Amino acid sequence: MNDRHRALGRGGLGAVMGAKKLKAIAVRGSKKVSVADAEKLDFIVYEAGKWIKAHPITSQGLPEFGTPVLVNLFNGLGVFPARNFQASQFPGAAKISGEAIAETISAGRQGCHDCPVQCTRLIKTPHTGITAGPEYESIWALGPECGIDDLGVIAEANHLCNRLGLDTVSTGVTIGCAMELVEKEILKEGPTFGDAAGLPQLVKQIAYREGTGNLLAEGSRRLAGKFGAGQYAMQVKGLELPAYDPRGLQGMGLGFATSNRGGCHLRAYMAGPEALGVPKMVDRFSTGGKAGLVINQQNINAAIDSLIACRFINMTVSEEYFARILSAATGVDYSPQDLYRIGERIWNLERLFNLRADLDSSFDTLPPRLLEEPVSEGPSRGKTVELKTMLAEYYRFRGWDESGTPLPKKLQELELEW
């Protein structure tokens, strides 16, 4: 956890720290941070601030509702998965939305130091006291993914995950997977869809590897694999998928499949252009041009992550601002193109690491449900992810061969030929 409430949850960092018996890292500064050109930096921050204060996402939506602002919106678009991705809309969405939180359990807002957005929701419930969250992804994973629409229980389960060092998304999706295995009678005993009362206890059982929790603690891939039912694990490269049904957001599907760390929405947030009009609205059902957009997002996001900058600000101001800020802070000139190149180097390096770890192109895929089972109703009705076409284009545009290995020419270009 960072700043008390912000979880570095995804990808198993908590497990790694636990294995190393590392409880926490404390950082204390004793010197002032200096920048190369403070006047220039002030001017760029002022200009960025104009957009942040004007843009409805950062000036109204996030400050008022936090990330749960997305619940009703994505449910309405039919890209809000439910019951282990068996549906793309959830009837109880309004009860667990940003609006519902504001009207029921909200206890104010908070944010990172000096941030004008202040997107963190403080909540108060009998089981959590005053705490932060749950965020959009956590609401979804511990709610609709498990067929649950009880906001109090979702908040409690989210709070428990944060205290116990569990990733809310992986926890919820693994529970959702178990629920489907029970529904299909593959798993004899276990949680069932909609069982809100049993959720907090199950989270504790996973953390302490007790009872059914011991099975679920392995994650959805190993859980479903143990019963020869891997198709019901909604994961990519072992990381559980987050709160977007890619059958209604084709680019998001390609982003999930090609993410170096597995099922992650933050490597290429294609819901931006496909649903939120950031930076521009594109046809969410179309596959044309999506490979290029995903590659650009993966590259620039890798660079912006290296700046330790917030992704929400990236929804409001373009990479040009980040390049200028970096230049002013360091005294070294960076252009937006430089950031793309830095990001592309990071992306290719990660890919090379994965290939050495035997994570080859066979892992650049999605759960069969998303490729083969059309959405049965709602705005995304009849859609599956058309991954094959997009993936071939993706490899070609990346300068990789057909098996997804970076070509020597590309590595030479990026000065990574070692």
Partner 1 sequence: MLKDFQKFGRDLFLAGLNSSHSGNLSVRCGDRVIITRRGAMLGHLEGRDLIETGLEKNDSNIILASTEIRVHRAIYKGTTALAIVHAHPVHAIALSLLEDEIIPLDSEGAYLLHKVPVLSAEHTIGSKELEEKLPALLKEYKIVMIRGHGSFAVGQVLEEAYQWTSCLEHSCRITCLTHTFKYNLQVKDTSRYRRW
Binding of residue 388 to partner 1 (CB under 8 A): no
Q: Is 61 in the site for partner 1 (CB under 8 A)?
A: yes
Between CA 12 and CA 170 the distance in angstroms is: 9
Q: Is 73 in the site for partner 1 (CB under 8 A)?
A: yes
- Distance (Å, rounded) from C-alpha 267 to C-alpha 281? 19
Q: Is residue 190 near partner 1 by the rule CB under 8 A?
A: no
118 interacts with partner 1 by CB under 8 A = no
Report the alpha-carbon distance of residue 91 to residue 89 in Å, rounded. 7
CB nearer to partner 1: give 58 or 212. Answer: 58
What is the smallest separation between the CB atom of 73 and partner 1, expressed in angstroms?
5
> Which sign, positive or negative, has the C-alpha torsion 89, 386, 319, 327?
positive
When asked if residue 294 is in the footprint of partner 1 (CB under 8 A), the reply is no
- Please give the Cα distance from 418 to 410 (Å, whole number): 12
Q: Locate 6 and state its tokens.
A: 């912000």
Residue 355 CA from chain centroid, whole number: 23
Q: Which residues pair with 406 in a beta bridge?
A: 400
Of 260, 264, 268, give the one whose Cα is nearest residue 359.
Answer: 260
Cβ distance to partner 1 smaller for residue 261 or 381: 381
Which of 9, 10, 14, 55: binder of partner 1 (CB under 8 A)? 55
Check residue 98 for interaction with partner 1 (CB under 8 A): yes
Ranges within 258-277 binding partner 1 (CB under 8 A): 276-277
Round to whole Å and give the CA distance between 219 and 240. Answer: 8
Q: Which of 84, 89, 97, 205 binds partner 1 (CB under 8 A)?
A: 97
Q: Which is nearer to partner 1, 86 or 106 (CB)?
A: 106
**Minimum Å distance from CB 275 to partner 1?**
9
Q: Which stretch binds partner 1 (CB under 8 A): 70-78, 112-120, 242-250, 390-398?
A: 70-78
Phi, psi angle pair for 51, to nearest 5°: -70, -40
Q: Which amino acid is at 20?
A: K
71 touches partner 1 (CB under 8 A): yes
Could you tell me if 48 and 313 are in contact, meaning their C-beta atoms sit under 8 angstroms apart? yes
In whole angstroms, how close is the CB of 154 to partner 1 at the nearest point? 17
What's the Cα-to-Cα distance from 178 to each of 123, 130, 382, 397, rounded to whole Å?
Answer: 29, 31, 26, 38
With respect to partner 1, which residue has the nearer C-beta, 250 or 365?
250
Choosing from 7, 48, 69, 151, the residue that interacts with partner 1 (CB under 8 A) is 69
Residues near partner 1 (CB under 8 A): 50, 53-57, 59-62, 64-65, 69-73, 97-99, 276-277, 279-281
